[in-house]
Amino acid sequence: MKDEKKYLGVAVPRPKVGFFELSSCEGCQLQLLNNESTLLDFLDLVKIVNFREAMKESSDAYQIAFVEGSVTRKDEVDRLQKIRHNAELVVALGSCACFGGVNQLKNRFHDLGWVKREVYGDYPIDSQEAQPLSAFIKVDLEIFGCPIKKEEVERIVTNLVLGKEVRHPQYPVCMECKAHENICLFDLGEPCLGPVTRAGCDAWCPSNRLGCWGCRGPAPAANLSELERIVARHDIPLERLLDRLECFGGFSGEAERLRTRLEAAE
């Protein structure tokens, strides 16, 4: 075949893929278009048949569906279920799809009616609590981050095409930070979720002197109690830690428990 690709002399398929968005800023999809010098190589791996942000043509004949965004409306549930029906493999793309993302911040008020009145006034709007894709369908693979890291997506897609197992790091961001020989941000008075957040971003934020906000969700065996002790040793208020735990949804359970404790202590 003319478009047949080979790896070590063996023909490999170019799966048909579609990219979709629910409630999101579409920043994760934009990251893929920002591949710059590696974009053509990335496109050689797959045959894109549906990508509203990048092309006019569309087709439901895809094998792999990459879905960005959280679910916040009934029509999005219906659309997501249709995507699941069409796809052999569904990939949650980014923090919104994996955990609810920044959108889920409204959930913490436990009063959706109040939230809608504050944001939209009397204008009628269909808006439910923000939830990850996995609350409604089976998700086969998650790619973490806000936004996703394009190099990681390239590696994962390459593994999918070649039939190799996809493995996420089992250690926290702190290990990547130490590998870069960064000054610990706690020593600079900055809160950071690096000790408990799953690695894979190459310590993107801490390497730029910004404490981690946990967009990749908890690392396996994340020790939140020890993180609180670290925060206390550096005289950082727990309220600043709570801000970060609440932000992307990956630590929603831990954030709710900490908020309850802080409110009870007032």
Residue 161 has pLDDT above 90, yes or no: no
Question: Confidence class of residue 38 from pLDDT cuts 50, 70 and 90?
Answer: confident
Structure tokens at 2: 């003319």
Question: 117 or 162, which is more confident?
Answer: 117
Domains of the chain from N-terminus onward? 5-162 (3.40.50.700), 173-265 (no CATH)
- Tell me the mean pLDDT in the region 91-103: 97
Residue 6 has pLDDT above 80, yes or no: no
pTM of the full predicted structure? 0.91
Residue 10 has pLDDT above 70, yes or no: no
Q: Which residues contact 91 (CB under 8 A, 6 or more apart)?
A: 64, 65, 66, 67, 139, 140, 141, 142, 143
What is the chain's mean pLDDT, rounded?
A: 92
